[in-house]
Amino acid sequence: MHFPPLYFSDDWFEAASEFEDDMMWLLSLPHNKFWSQLVFDPGARSALISYLQKAPRSYDRELVDLAPVQKEILTRVHNLVFKIYSRLITIKESETCFISKDVHGSLIYDNYLLDVPAMLDLCLLFGTSEKRSLTKLLQSITKSQPKYSSDLQSTAQMFVKALKDLDQYFVGGVASGSSEPLKLSNICPASRGMIKHEQLQDYVVFLVDIVSSVAMLLDLLPIVISSFITALPEIEISQFYDQTLPAMHQSLLQVENEEESKSLALKINVARVNLLNIAKITLVHRCNSIISESVFSRAMEQMEEYLTVLSELLAYPKFVRDLHSFFQISCELRRLHENRPDILDESKCNYLSDSFILCIESSSQESGRKSPSPSESSSTRSFPSKEPTPALLAPKLPVKEDNILAEDILIESLISSIQEMLPELGAGFLKKCLKHYNLDKEAVVNAVLEESLPSGLKELDRTQPLLSSEIEAGSSVPVLPLRLNVFDNDEFDIMSRNHIDTSRIHQGKRKSKHKNLSQLLDDKSELVEVKDFYKKFGTVADVVYDDEYDDTYDEFKEFKIDDVNEDLERRPFVTPRVLRKKEDLVAEEEEEEEDEEDTSAHNTDSFVQDPALLREQAQQRREAKYGPPKGPRGDVVGKPKGQGQDANTQLNRRRKDASKSSRGNHNRRAGAERKLRQGLIPS
């Protein structure tokens, strides 16, 4: 009988009860029949595997909505399955019921009673509630059958391949294990909006299942870490964290059902936390391996690989920023330097620590979060604590208030880091959870994800916001020292000034002194002030010179004017042209022409030269310097309309249009600005 899934609504209680009876019957069999049933009955093995595959996980929202009767049945079945696997790895039950170690390992391994996928499911289902017993179970089975070690080594390749496949689907690229590029129609269907709701749900469940099970396996079975880090999973995790997880969150916008979207978002956030846990476990193991390695050459090889991984992580600032909230890499570098100074010197340690601090600061500034202060960079060299230091985040306050404010500021920083992973939780709810777990952030995250909160916290609203210090009951934190504003200490700041000029404060809409446009134009009060200013530049003071009087030209002041005949001063009489005869007119015109010729011939030193002559001379100089013109220039008229224009005419038209502002009446603004510079304003 297979275990029925939770969404199997019809006769679910009857099917679950039958499965429970089968497990109780299997567990009650004697030693020999128990092993015979598991080895020779495929139905027994498939029943156990069905529970491992279909049992609800701790991050499933369906567990919250279950009825009490369903929860009781699930709890009983859960305990029965774990007891069966515990009996499965037991070699000796009594003095008469036992199996040798070699035969026991061969029976389990050869008959697929417990393979690596089943181990991962066991870690995911029982890793939190039965952690100690499950650790002994896994250690016992790996010792009794060495072949499991080679199978567990393939877990890293399987894990990396799964992340690459998800990255190829949501971001795009070449599929893992293939050297040929994909077709354009097969690349990144999620980014083109082609993903269906069922497919998205399957991918999210696959991600959270494999990531959570691998994280729990590494935590329960540390001997697997050595073979796991050979595939350099940290680099693939950081790339997946920065690129694929945001794309998966973006795909959630296509889900129309809000409850389904929240459920999938919760699973993605669980995967985020477990990815950070895997990276933390592997990095700490690398550091411990270097410290414990006695052979210098091997330690140097491990150190080079460790530094390569750290340098690759710097290319993904979001991952480094969130990893910094779990543990500080600078602390691990300091510990490595203190234990193995022959491998990692102080200069290299400080350089790497500062690089991670700068990476975190840049990522925090882009996301709008509060970045570490510059003093934190230097404090990392003195082995800082794992949590953000309150002294770096809190403003300067009196000594009596430091202890009160330090705790609140530390709580706010922890709330912000938790909300980065679980944004649907309210700040007020997280604050009460942190106080209940003594500010242990990891304990709060695990309790929320595994739905293991106390009854008092379960009843609270998870979206409860954070109340201010004035409203919250029992809060003794002063509000004024925490007040930070861009208008602090200005002329209207009542917190820092006792007297304020109220005449400069106006409430409501200010009425203008001009009723209409004509009154505004007739108002010349501002011009009067400007006149007084410019009069200073127009007045010139009388200057008294001390030089001696110059009497050089005094003798020319008096001169005698000759007498002039009045008849000569008068204009000679001229007969009007109307009264003249034709012969006189012709003779006069000939005389005028002769006078003009004489004037043009002898007037070489005229005051104003002929403009036509000047243009001709300029044209001659241009031709002497540049040669005769190659073709007609400046022709903008061209041929009549409808006959087409040649290239020169079109070029001349474009040049004329481009340079028309330099001549004519097209540059009025320059003239107006020149008048303003000279002080010529209307009076």
Q: Which residue has the tokens 């100089």?
A: 621
Residue type, 558: E
Strand partners, 98: 92
Q: Is 183 helix (H, G, I), strand (E, B) or coil?
A: coil
The answer, yes or no, to whether residue 479 has pLDDT greater than 50, is no
User: What distance lies between CA 499 and its chain's CA centroid?
Assistant: 45
Q: Is 553's pLDDT higher than 80?
A: no
- Reading phi first (left if > 0) and then psi (alpha if -120 to 50, else beta), residue 371 is in beta
Contact 182, 174 (CB under 8 A): yes
- Mean pLDDT of all residues in 163-181: 67
148 — pLDDT class (breaks 50, 70, 90): confident
Q: Give the model's confidence band at 683: pLDDT under 50 very low, under 70 low, under 90 confident, else very high.
A: very low
pLDDT band at 80 (very low <50, low <70, confident <90, very high): very high
Average pLDDT over residues 626-650: 80
More confident residue, 557 or 365: 365
What's the distance, Cα to Cα, between the start and end of the chain in Å?
Answer: 106
Kind plus residue range of the DSSP H or E element containing 484: none
More confident residue, 153 or 173: 153
d(CA 125, CA 58): 8
SS (H, E, C) 521-563: HHCCHHHHHHHHHHHHHHCCCCCCCCCCCCCCCHHHCCCCCCC
Q: What is the mean pLDDT of residues 154-159?
A: 85
Residue 550 has pLDDT above 60, yes or no: yes
Range of weakest confidence among 121-125, 200-204, 564-568, 667-671: 564-568
> Which residue, chain included where needed, has tokens 């069999």?
29
Asked which of 349-363, 461-475, 521-535 is least confident by mean pLDDT, the reply is 461-475
Buried b (16+ CB within 10 A) or exposed e, 229-256: bebebbbbbbbbbbbbbebbbebeeebe
**Rounded distance between C-alpha atoms, residue 660 and residue 656, angstroms:** 6
- Residue with the bigger pLDDT between 633 and 441: it is 441
Over residues 373-385, the pLDDT tens digits come to 333 333 333 333 3
Q: Are 187 and 172 contacting, i.e. CB atoms less than 8 angstroms apart?
A: yes
Give the Å distances, CA to CA, from 69 to 40, 58, 73, 75, 212. Answer: 34, 18, 6, 10, 28
Calculate helix-pair angle for 296-313, 346-367, nearest 10 degrees.
Answer: 20
- Which residues have CB under 8 Å from 447's CB, separation 6+? 433, 437, 453
Give the model's pLDDT for residue 377.
35
Q: What is the percent of the chain where pLDDT is above 90?
A: 4
Query: What's the pLDDT score for residue 194?
Result: 62
Q: What pLDDT digit, counting tens, does each position of 322-340 carry?
A: 888 777 888 888 888 888 8
State percent of the chain over pLDDT 70: 74
- CA distances from residue 77 to 80, 133, 471 in whole angstroms, order as listed: 5, 17, 48
Residue 392 has pLDDT above 50, yes or no: no
DSSP string, 169-180: HHT--PPTT--S
Task: Copy the structure tokens of residue 356.
Answer: 């991670």
pLDDT at residue 613 above 80?
yes
Confidence band (pLDDT; 50, 70, 90) for 25?
A: very high
pLDDT at 174 (0 to 100): 44
Mean pLDDT over residues 477-503, rounded?
69
Looking at residues 485-496, what average pLDDT do you find? 76
Amino acid type, 489 = N
pLDDT of residue 540: 42
Provide the mean pLDDT of the chain.
76
Q: What is the pLDDT of residues 270-326, one digit of tens each?
A: 888 899 999 999 999 998 888 888 888 888 888 888 888 888 888 888 888 888 877
The enclosing H or E element of 48 equals helix 42-54
* Residue-wise pLDDT tens digits, 509-518: 777 777 788 8
620, pLDDT greater than 60: yes
CA distances from 584 to 185, 198, 216, 597 (A): 106, 119, 132, 20
Q: Is the pLDDT of residue 635 over 60?
A: yes
Residue-wise pLDDT tens digits, 186-237? 555 555 456 777 888 888 889 999 999 999 999 998 888 888 888 888 889 9
pLDDT at 170: 85
481: nearest Cα among 373, 402, 392, 388: 402
